[in-house]
Each structure stands twice: as structure tokens, then as C-alpha cells.
Amino acid sequence: MSNLEGAPEEASDVRGRVAELHAIREQVRRGPSDRATQAQKAKGKLTARERIDLLLDEGSFCEVEPLRRHRATGFGLEAKKPYTDGVITGWGTVHGRTVFVYAHDFRIFGGALGEAHATKIHKIMDKAIAAGAPLVSLNDGAGARIQEGVSALAGYGGIFQRNTKASGVIPQISVMLGPCAGGAAYSPALTDFVFMVRETSQMFITGPDVVRAVTGEEITQNGLGGADVHAETSGVCHFAYDDEETCLEEVRYLLSLLPQNNRENPPRVVCEDPADRTGEALLDLVPADGNRPYDMRKVIEEIVDDGEYLEVHERWATNIIVALARLDGQVVGIIANQPQSLAGVLDIEASEKAARFIQMCDAFNIPLVTLLDVPGFLPGVDQEHGGIIRHGAKLLYAYCNATVPRISVILRKAYGGAYIVMDSQSIGADLTFAWPTNEIAVMGAEGAANVIFRKQIAEADDPDAMRSRMVKEYKAELMHPYYAAERGLVDDVIDPVETRQVLIRSLAMLATKHADLPSRKHGNPPQ
């Protein structure tokens, strides 16, 4: 009888505690205060939870440690212990696939990182690595929490170590949605992709005040480390957008092109664009005259499924294009010279841009398609003193090290070392095709004739006429469209309109490619 009499009282106690739990959850959901939320909105920024809702499929978010609080004392911290400690962590789905996420909450301590804050991030990163699923960080933090001293710095070290451990294992995407200085900028630099929002996000190691004090230079936050600066000048940012909504939608699109981890292939989709579609427009897009520019983006649009592709680093090192696209529903990485910018030459920045993209594709089982129209490496004192040899070697190393299917198509000119470096057959391309407009040589005919026939030209009664005749002779002998094919350095010379068909058939054949790697801890790539 006593047990029965006690049951209602116990049930009432449980209901009370459940009500208390829901009240706490609501407090966590709302954040520290309405005032803090209004201040965030006044800056044109979404709250951390609104960002997560835009990133993940509706209703899929599962939060981890929402009730976590810091344990620090001193400097007024003991009187302020908000739930989450300024970072929201958990997992959900994007297009039905698991994605882990953490989001700084700028309303709490300005998103600054403390010991508890860091521990939450460490845990969710460990879970992402263990589960083999992408990790997205929504960054809006003011760096290390000064009041917690070296504990905060150690927290950053733990993040960096995990970024490195996850590199090439799971996709890591950093979305910059506020000011991120010092240690907060290093973690994004270790990830695969960095997104930024104009006027809202900034990245720098030392802010404008420190720059002014040390160098005397006056500069704004955006001028020092805004989205446009990093998208166009430094190359730190891969994608820049005008608003958070568009930015997060593009993150979702990027995730749809990436595998969950390095043990899987990227998701394949049903393609309604016919695999045997011909590209008649290609005949008019690319001039036969190697000195005339054209937009390589239009060539890519004509070849890939439905003309859709996601260009990476669109505004940095514009003389080369790197992009993710699909061919017959299969994700591919495209590397292409851009004749509209610096005639498509390779320079320091273009080499770095392409090299890292190739490494990313190789890590995540994305086949490589290279479209060549390259006159060589950019000459000049600045390039040589800046280390073009070292930086160009990065591109060479990346291609040579890649084990995914590799297909090259030579559209027009491919001269000198740039021809070799841009995935020639001699460095391991699985298949190499060329259009009948191709010119593969050590250098252009004009330069070659001036070197080989220098004496004859100098002694001729009409040097210009002699030079012209020697140029034609060199082209006829060593630069005709079938010269490389005759020597087995090109697998076939193809009709440009059949490029899409040829690539799709080749990718299907290479789908089961297996590459044996030497036993080693890791290579030592040029730096």
C-alpha cells in the first residue's frame, strides 16, 4: 500500500523536473538575452541557430552538450556562466547525408574560445572523424578568451591538431560569418574550403589596431581581411557571397558534390543530359589561331552536365580555372587554363591554386579532367625571385602524386615545361586526347625558329622572309596536329564536338582504376 501511495508523488516530481528541463531548453534555444540577439541582428547577422537551420535539412539537427558551462573563475567569469559557453555543436543532415557542425554564438562572450568552448569543438571533431562524415564550422568568434589565458590557447591547439588529423579523411568546410582573428583564422586555413560573406566576415592574424601601432599603416577591417581581399588577393577564401543565406545554400551545394569521407566516392546522380550529346558550339568557341583569346568557362559549360559547375577560387589566380562538375552524373574535378587571363600562362598563384585543388580531388576520389591551352610559365624577375620553380613544382608534385583517374585534353597550344606539368602522359595521365587545333612543342614556332635558325636568318638577304619561312618549316615538321599522336604521347586526336562523349566513355573505363603506392610515411612536397 505504501508503494502505491507514493507513486503519484513520485510522478509529480518527475513531471516537475521535465518541466524544468523544457524551460532550460527554451532558455538555451533563445540564447543569452533578447538584447544580445537584437545587437546581432543590427549588424546584419543571423544567430548561430538560424545559420544551422539554413545549413541542415529541416528538423535534422541533434545538439551535443547544450548545457555545457565554463568552470573558469576570476575577472567576473564566475558570475556569468551561460549555457553552451558560446558554441553550438552537433550533427544533422544535408540532402539526407550526415554532416557535423559547430557554430560560434557571438552573443556569448563575442564567440571567444575558452576551455569548455574548445572541449565541445574537440568532441564534435572527434565524432566527425570517427563517423566518417563532413565537418562544417560556422565561424563568428573574437579569438581566444583572454580571461582564461593559456587554457584558451591550448584549446586552439587541440582544434589545429584535429584539423590536421582529419585532412584528406573527411571534407572540412569553414564558413566565416564574423570577425575571426588570431588563432580563429588558422583553423579555417587548415580546412579544405573557406566561405566568406562580404561586409560581415573578416580574417586576419593581427587586426587594424595592431597594424597601425606596429607599421603606422591605416586600414579598415575589411580592407585588411575582408571577403574580397581574401577572394581576390590572398587566395585564403575560396568562395565569397553577398549574404549569409546564399553562402549557406552554396555550402549545401558543395557538400552534394563531395563524398562523406576518403573511403567513399562522391554521390552520383541520375543525369538527364545525354551522354552522347555532341558539342557543336565548341567549333566556334575556340579560335584556331593560338594567339586569339576565348573564355574557357564556355568550353566547360558545353562539356559538363547541363552546363553546371562550381568554380573554386573564381577570383584568385584567374589565369587557371578549377571547378567541380558532373559528367554523366559522376563528379569530376576540372583544371583548365584560361586564355582570357594572362593568355592562360602558369605563374606562382595559378600553380598553387591548381595544386591544392588536385590534392583535394585525389584525397576524396574525384577524377581529374585537365583542359590545356597553355603557352608556358610566366617569365619575369618577380616570378623567378618569388620562387616560380618551387611553386610550379607543387603543381607537378600534385599531379604526379594523384592516383585518381586522370584525363587530359589539349585544345590548342601546350608549350614547354607547362605542357609537361599540366598532366601530360609522361607524368602519369591515364588518357591524353587532343583537338586537331593542338600545338605541342618545346616553345612557340617563332621562338624556336629564332633559336634553331639564328645563323641562317642573320646571314639572309631578307631576314624577315627567311624567319617566316623557317617558322612555317618548324610548324610543318614538329608542330603539326598529329606529331605527338604519331609518337604515342597523345592517345587520339578527336573531333571537338565529341569531347563530352570521349570523356564520359573514358571515365567509365577508368572507374575501377587501382594504383599501387610505394610504402612510405608520406612524401615531402615542395614548399
Q: Would you please indicate which residues are annotated as catalytic (active-site) residues?
A: 182-183, 417-418
Alpha carbon 135 to its chain's center: 14
Half-sphere exposure of 413 (CA within 13 A, CB side): 25
- Cα 364 to Cα 95, 257, 367: the distances in Å are 19, 10, 9
Q: Which of 89, 82, 139, 90 lies closest to 109 in space, CA to CA? A: 82
Bridge partners, residue 324, by sequence: 310, 333
3-state secondary structure (DSSP) of residue 368: strand
Q: In three state form, how does the secondary structure of 472-522 look?
A: HHHHHHHCCCCHHHHCCCCCEECCHHHHHHHHHHHHHHHHHCCCCCCCCCC
Per-residue CA distances from 409 to 274, 337, 357 (Å): 20, 11, 18
Residue with cell 558551462: 69
Summary count for the chain: helices (H), strands (E): 21, 17
Instruction: Compute, in degrees rounded to 10, the torsion defined by CA atoms 236, 242, 243, 247.
Output: -50
Whole-number Å distance between alpha carbons of 506 and 356: 24
Contact predicate 103/140, CB 8 Å: yes
User: Grid coordinates in use for 162?
Assistant: 584535429
Which residues share a beta bridge with 368? 333, 406
CB of 28 closer than 8 Å to CB of 83 = yes
Q: Return the C-alpha cell found at 149.
A: 589565458
Dihedral, CA of residue 86, residue 92, residue 98 and residue 104, to nearest 10: -20
The residues pairing with 113 across neighbouring beta strands, listed in sequence order, are: 144
